[in-house]
Amino acid sequence: MSLLQIDRLRIAFGGIVAVKDLSLAVAPGAIHALIGPNGAGKTTVLNCISRFYDADAGSIRFGGQELTGLRDHCVADLGIARTFQNLELFGDLTVLDNVRIARHRFQRATLPEVLLGLVRKRREDAEHTERAEAIVESVGLAGHLHARVRDLPYGTQKLVELARAIALEPKLMLLDEPAAGMNNREIGRLGELLQGLRQRLSATLLLIEHNMSLVMSISERVTVMHDGALLAEGPPGEIERHEGVVAAYLGGGHRARAAAGV
């Protein structure tokens, strides 16, 4: 059974139909890429899954449970975490604090305990800080634990976003262009990191990405959108050679573009 099953999803903004009857199944434990030209509707699909947008029609089931109709925090509680194409970090806080805040859903201390600074709260705080530090280190940012996020390069901030998503210990991670702003060496490390995450956390990844060398090297399945609709779906080797995908998106130059890190 699929972990995530999207059926005939549709959403329009005024006259623009951003997603047209899209169906998509993500297998448990997969790294599944969602690719396509700018404006194809990829981020909108993520926004529907994480309940930032209300779909006009269709269904989104996660582990068999219907998500449409749920509140966005309920989706997070079910074990779905996401990163944002345009970063959603607290720029004035440190890397560590950004990741610690993401773990608040695990904090069991009651409000009176928080207010009184009771022992259980202090112990929990220490545990969460330790866990957050380990997560920051796992994405390669040990040297930036106490750096203010807004002072870091964009590609490094993308890793902080990833760390925040990891901190939620999700079953499904929705990643919107995690490699944006990274150079080739950083993208290589990101690929290893994402594969490691899948192994260590038994997480499933739905990955939106324009860097084709990353997509083709780590994904088992690739779904291609064009103009809001499904254009193709299959293993990376097939998608790379798919005539419609090459015509609409990949062209002849994606390898060259990927090699140039753009």
Ligand X SMILES: Nc1ncnc2c1ncn2[C@@H]1O[C@H](COP(=O)(O)OP(=O)(O)OP(=O)(O)O)[C@@H](O)[C@H]1O
Q: Of 167 and 208, which CB lies nearer to ligand X in the complex structure?
A: 208
Q: Judged by CB under 6 A, does residue 42 bind ligand X?
A: yes
Per CB under 6 A, the segment of 12-20, 56-64, 65-73, 232-240 that binds ligand X is: 12-20
* Nearest-approach distance from CB 38 to ligand X, in angstroms: 3
Contact present, 24 and 223 (Cβ < 8 Å)? yes
| Strand ranges (E), the chain | 4-13, 16-26, 31-35, 57-62, 65-66, 80-82, 172-176, 204-208, 221-226, 229-234
Q: Of 57 and 134, which CB lies nearer to ligand X in the complex structure?
A: 57
* Nearest-approach distance from CB 92 to ligand X, in angstroms: 26
Q: Of 42 and 100, which CB lies nearer to ligand X in the complex structure?
A: 42
Contact present, 55 and 68 (Cβ < 8 Å)? yes
Out of 38, 86, 112, 260, which residue is the one contacting ligand X (CB under 6 A)? Answer: 38
Per CB under 6 A, the segment of 34-42, 120-128, 164-172, 246-254 that binds ligand X is: 34-42
Q: In sequence order, what are the residues at sequence separation of 6 or more whose Cβ sits closer than 8 angstroms to the Cβ of residue 233?
A: 24, 221, 222, 223, 224, 239
Radius of gyration of the chain (CA): 19
Q: Judged by CB under 6 A, does residue 23 bind ligand X?
A: no
